[in-house]
Amino acid sequence: MTSPPTKPAPTPLDRLRLGEALELASHAIGLSDPNPRVGCVIGSSDGRVLGRGYTQRAGEGHAEVMAMRDAQSQGQSIRGATAWVTLEPCAHHGRTPPCSLALLEAGIARCVIAQIDPNPLVSGGGVAQMRQGGMQVDVLDTEDPLVSTARELNPGFFSRFERGRPWVRAKIACSADGKVALADGRSKWITGEAARADGHHWRRRASAIMTGIGTVLADNPRLDVRAVTTAVQPLRVVLDSQRRTPVDAAILTPPGAALIVASPTSAGPPLPGTEIWTDISLRDGALDLTALLRALAHRRSVNELHLEAGPTLTGAMAAADLVDEWLIYMAPMMLGEGKPAAHLPRLACLEDARRYTWIDSTTIGSDLRLRMRRTGLSTTFTRPPHGASESTASA
């Protein structure tokens, strides 16, 4: 159900308020997952802000409700006011009642929306419901720069509904000659404390952090979020076909849950409190990474997936074209012989190389942080033809 979009040029006040709503939405990182990060500003047409809000934990208040509560707590009347929201208000009864009805009941006269919700349970329904209730609803043109800013806040949420898989960000910490470990496997620490802390900001964005059994056995990492505060811990996923994860592995300990993905024929000791999947199909003898990503999106609502693995799994993900973005911390050191960032097949010629575009570079402490994406890839995805995002993962 998609209402005919109205695309009036947003006023300068619309732009200002949507910009504020986007800033508010960023506070929902590490809080609202798997719900999208949404911000809302309620204000009067003469320029007064009456209430502000952003999405809380799943099952708690959405941005619109938080903004209405904020106005109420300050004794502000919002009847006849405008609501600026970064994502279409929900129209369905999920864990909370529909925001579209709440805005109507509160007497909001106009709603300005940055983007339509990709969730088929909502998509266009919130707009239609509010218009039917007599509200003026304006939706930004999809080409508006504010829309791409809004999508950048939720690339995983859009990827999950529009591609049926998470947005994958692969993190590597390497030397200037591209090595992620010494030849004997030791890698602690190539980058400095500041870069490692920055890495936790990116872990915090993710619904899940994925690694391979090679890294678990070599480093015994916790792979949780520690260096920055977070309301929720990402799910930690270990690809471990043969069930070699030790019972006392640090990755299995709280805070946060762990998931072992093993091959259908694997056998291993029970791991109390740890979920184990043995139903992901194999492709060429290895766990099918595409099927796994679909299963993570479908079963566990994984929006952003943070890959922090050794060269074997990182290479397999890249070779399967499943890495959307690279987060590279580069230390000013040379390691010489050592492990490369990714084991990739030998190329016949340079033209066959995978091409990326740098999207960001900065210095963190004594290290460089570089981000790159597949050239031409944006966070606006082509919807799969048969509503693949709703279908059961072919796991």
Ligand X SMILES: NC(=O)c1ccc[n+]([C@@H]2O[C@H](COP(=O)([O-])OP(=O)(O)OC[C@H]3O[C@@H](n4cnc5c(N)ncnc54)[C@H](OP(=O)(O)O)[C@@H]3O)[C@@H](O)[C@H]2O)c1
DSSP string, 83-139: EEESSPPP-S-SSS--HHHHHHHTT--EEEESS----TTTTTHHHHHHHHTT-EEEE
Angle CA 271–274–280, to nearest 5: 100
Tokens of 294: 């679909």
CB of 311 vs ligand X, minimal distance in Å = 5
Cβ nearer to ligand X, comparing 130 with 293: 293
Set 20, 23, 60, 64: catalytic member: 64
Cβ nearer to ligand X, comparing 9 with 247: 247
CB of 225 vs ligand X, minimal distance in Å = 16
- Nearest position to ligand X, beta carbon: 310
Are the C-beta atoms of residues 53 and 66 closer than 8 Å to each other? yes
CB of 221 vs ligand X, minimal distance in Å = 8
SS3 percent helix, strand, coil of the chain, rounded to 5, is 25, 20, 50
Q: Count of CB atoms within 10 A of residue 210's CB?
A: 29
C-alpha distances out from residue 313 to 53, 114, 295, 323, 344, Å: 40, 37, 18, 11, 10
Helices (H), 143-288: 145-153, 155-162, 193-205, 213-219
Q: Does the annotation mark 325 as catalytic?
A: no
Name the residues that contact ligand X, by CB under 6 A: 172-173, 180-181, 185, 187, 190, 211-215, 218-219, 239-242, 244, 286-287, 289, 308-313, 316, 339
Tokens of 18: 């949507």
Cβ nearer to ligand X, comparing 131 with 343: 343
Would you give the DSSP letter of residue 384?
Answer: P
CB of 286 vs ligand X, minimal distance in Å = 4
Q: Count of CB atoms within 10 A of residue 336's CB?
A: 9
CB of 360 vs ligand X, minimal distance in Å = 18
Cβ nearer to ligand X, comparing 211 with 379: 211
**Which amino acids are annotated catalytic?**
64
